[in-house]
Amino acid sequence: MTFALQTIKTTPVTIVVKDDNGFLPGAVVRIVDTNPTTGTTNVLAQLVTDNNGKIQGTFTVATTLANVQAVVHLGSKILSHPISLLPMNGQELTQVNRTLAVTGTFQPQAMLADADGDQIPDDYDAYPNDATRASKICFPITCSESDLITMAYEDLYPLEGDGDLNDYVTWGRSEEDVNAKGKIVKLRTYYQHVAKGTLLVHTFRLRFGAAATGAGLVRKVTGFTNVVTQTNATFSANDLKNGISVYNENSSQTSQSANNTNSITFKPGKKAALELTFNTPVARAEIGHAPYDPYIVLVNTAPLNLNFTETETHLPGKNSSILQILTSGSYPFSIVVPGIWHWQVETLDIRLSVKTGYLEYAAWVDSGGISFRDWYTKVTKTSAVYNNLPATGTLAGFINVIKNKYFILGVLLVLAVSLGVGFALKKRLSATVA
Ligand SMILES: [Ca+2]
Ligand SMILES: [Ca+2]
């Protein structure tokens, strides 16, 4: 069973499309979330029906989202089918199974231009001239560089610590390049370390499920001065399963401030961007779903005179053993929340009504995650949470900084050359005149 305490959830989806001739192959089915205010459509999954008229995939969204749509492109017609996501009779939705029968006969693939022949029509192909990639699936929901999640960890498992969930806090987002068969070809994931409310030191790592293949990695890290360092590596399937370093540095080196009390001005830590190119495209079931399994590892407990090391803390539901991330009171040791979340200030236990900034948090846990699903958006005690955060952050922007720098260098070079030529011309002209 899926672990219940989720603010973000993955749902398996199976859709069968039929027309008057029976099962309809070749229809593009997209699972989309349409923003009611902006009208922007975010593609959560995109697949083509097989000879049995069927697509099978998954989509990952915040548990506060009430519905998504299955949009079926039949060639001469587009069908939109609503899917409600909220719990029914106190039970979480665990899967979506639909058969959509349309009147008439359709030949979707014959009707739509498809330059690279990957079965995803040009209009819906994120890479219309690249047959190896068809969709760009972003997390959380949009591909905007400012659409982030916050991941916050307590670091002393199995000791409960102070329960403020601010020992290691990071922002994150990710993008997958997916082929027409729904397999992941490339994966980019971005982080920024934003709080370290502890004397202890950690490494921050990322683990995947049982990938059947290895991957090449390009890692870019930017520090406090916008200098970007790049490292490249290759990993085996086992390496991906055992976890890879997000930074080559520990949490003291990637933070420049604890950012854990309101007397401290916010100073963000280092950003990391990882691009993994799998040796062969991998199925969702192999690597898991975003945010995958990002976790902290305690390097050394010596500052607190504790005699254990190498303790890991994972996000709820992301460890092989569910029990490993729960306290005796069934509270998780970490939390992942959509958006920029204001974490608890130092020593204020998020679970206790007199200390929490989020009164609905405990009620949400007690309900097994069914009720109070938007608890993290409701600050009930401002002084209990860290208030000095910027309203927005961006991840991945720093990669462009490099390009821009080279662009500016390029412009300067062209300018210098033109000036030089102009100067030489001028010299020659004056020479001629003379
Ligand atoms: Ca195509
Ligand atoms: Ca393509």
What's the 110 CA to ligand 1 centre distance in angstroms?
A: 13
pLDDT at 249: 96
Closest CA to 87 of 373, 365, 366: 373
What's the 119 CA to ligand 1 centre distance in angstroms?
A: 6
User: Which ligand number lies closest to the CA of residue 134?
Assistant: 2
Q: What band does 309 get if pLDDT is binned at 50, 70 and 90?
A: low
What's the 76 CA to ligand 1 centre distance in angstroms?
A: 17
pLDDT at 410: 43
What's the 26 CA to ligand 2 centre distance in angstroms?
A: 15
Task: Express each pLDDT in 122-150 by its tens digit.
Answer: 999 999 999 999 999 999 989 999 999 99
CB-side neighbour CA atoms (13 Å) of 11: 24
Report the pLDDT averaged over residues 235-248.
Answer: 94
What's the 118 CA to ligand 2 centre distance in angstroms?
A: 6
Q: What backbone torsions phi and psi does residue 253 show, to the nearest 5 degrees? A: -80, -25
What's the 182 CA to ligand 1 centre distance in angstroms?
A: 13
Rounded mean pLDDT of the chain?
Answer: 87
Residue 321: Cβ within 10 Å count: 8
What's the 121 CA to ligand 1 centre distance in angstroms?
A: 5
DSSP lists the bridge partners of residue 149 as 172, 338
Residue 158, pLDDT > 90, answer: no
DSSP lists the bridge partners of residue 294 as 206
User: Which ligand number lies closest to the CA of residue 114?
Assistant: 1
What's the 14 CA to ligand 2 centre distance in angstroms?
A: 23
Task: Express each pLDDT in 333-371 by its tens digit.
Answer: 899 999 999 999 999 999 999 999 999 999 998 888 889
Q: What backbone torsions phi and psi does residue 324 show, to the nearest 5 degrees? A: -65, -20
What's the 120 CA to ligand 1 centre distance in angstroms?
A: 4
What's the 142 CA to ligand 2 centre distance in angstroms?
A: 20
Helices and strands (H, E) in the chain, number of each type: 6, 20
DSSP string, 385-409: B-----S---SSHHHHHHHHHHHHH
The neighbourhood of ligand 2, an ion, using CB within 5 A, equals 116, 118, 125, 127, 130, 134
User: Which ligand number lies closest to the CA of residue 121?
Assistant: 1
pLDDT at 99: 98
Domains (ranges, CATH) in the chain? 8-131 (2.60.40.1120), 136-384 (no CATH)
Q: How far apart are CA 2 and CA 368, in angstroms?
A: 11
CB 152 within 8 A of CB 168: yes
Instruction: Kindly state the tokens that stand for 369.
Output: 């995650």
Q: What band does 420 get if pLDDT is binned at 50, 70 and 90?
A: very low
pLDDT at 299: 87
Task: Express each pLDDT in 28-81 by its tens digit.
Answer: 999 999 988 888 899 999 999 999 999 999 999 999 999 999 999 998 899 999
Instruction: Kindly state the tokens that stand for 338.
Output: 């959509």
Report the pLDDT averaged over residues 182-205.
Answer: 96
User: Which ligand number lies closest to the CA of residue 124?
Assistant: 1
User: Which ligand number lies closest to the CA of residue 127?
Assistant: 2
pLDDT at 3: 53
What's the 133 CA to ligand 1 centre distance in angstroms?
A: 8
Q: What band does 400 get if pLDDT is binned at 50, 70 and 90?
A: low
Bond into 338 cis (ω within 30): no
What's the 210 CA to ligand 1 centre distance in angstroms?
A: 29
What's the 325 CA to ligand 1 centre distance in angstroms?
A: 43
What's the 126 CA to ligand 1 centre distance in angstroms?
A: 8
Residue 292, pLDDT > 60, answer: yes
User: Which ligand number lies closest to the CA of residue 113?
Assistant: 1
Q: What band does 188 get if pLDDT is binned at 50, 70 and 90?
A: very high
What's the 180 CA to ligand 2 centre distance in angstroms?
A: 8
What's the 142 CA to ligand 1 centre distance in angstroms?
A: 21
pLDDT at 403: 45
What's the 253 CA to ligand 1 centre distance in angstroms?
A: 44
Residue 237, pLDDT > 70, answer: yes
CB 392 within 8 A of CB 386: no
Q: How far apart are CA 413 and CA 37, in angstroms?
A: 45
Candidate from 47-61, 267-281, 306-320, 349-363 with smallest mean pLDDT? 306-320
User: Which ligand number lies closest to the CA of residue 129?
Assistant: 2
pLDDT at 429: 35
What's the 292 CA to ligand 1 centre distance in angstroms?
A: 28
Q: How far apart are CA 344 and CA 262, in angstroms?
A: 10
pLDDT at 338: 96
What's the 26 CA to ligand 1 centre distance in angstroms?
A: 12
